[in-house]
Amino acid sequence: VTIHDTLAQYLDAKNYPEGNPSADPQQEKLKVFYIDAKSTETNEVVAFTLSSPMDLQGLMIPTRQLHSLCTWCIRNKYRSGDGCDYAGTRYFDKHNNPVNDPSLDECPGTLTACKLRHGEGNELPFGGFPGTSLIRS
């Protein structure tokens, strides 16, 4: 939704029976809002809640879901250096079976897969939350 704010003196000549010599279409301030949610609906009216572009810049909270899978793997960031920084030479397929061909290396995003690649005793850049699998709703 875009709102055009201006002063009456700058309105175009169509709004005045004798014209408007001070009309200036450049004298406006644009306000942009986004429809955030439907707040009311009746047979005659539908009302929406608007949000400013500055309101979280379009982000929804939480930006990350809490689950036991690695966020980097889900977002296709495996071996990208942008999240998952694995650069080793241990390769596994999506079922954690060892493979020799790096093109067959595919991480399923599990903690087990991360441990296989980085080593059991090493620090892991795992992007998931393993404990969430214990939560019951």
Model confidence pLDDT, tens digit, residues 32-88: 888 888 999 999 999 999 888 777 555 666 666 778 899 888 888 888 888 888 999
Question: How far is it, in rounded angstroms, from Cα 59 to Cα 70?
Answer: 21
Predicted model pTM: 0.52
Pick from 78, 86, 83: nearest CA to 107:
78
Compare 137 and 112 and report the one with higher pLDDT. 112
The total number of residues written for the chain in this structure: 137
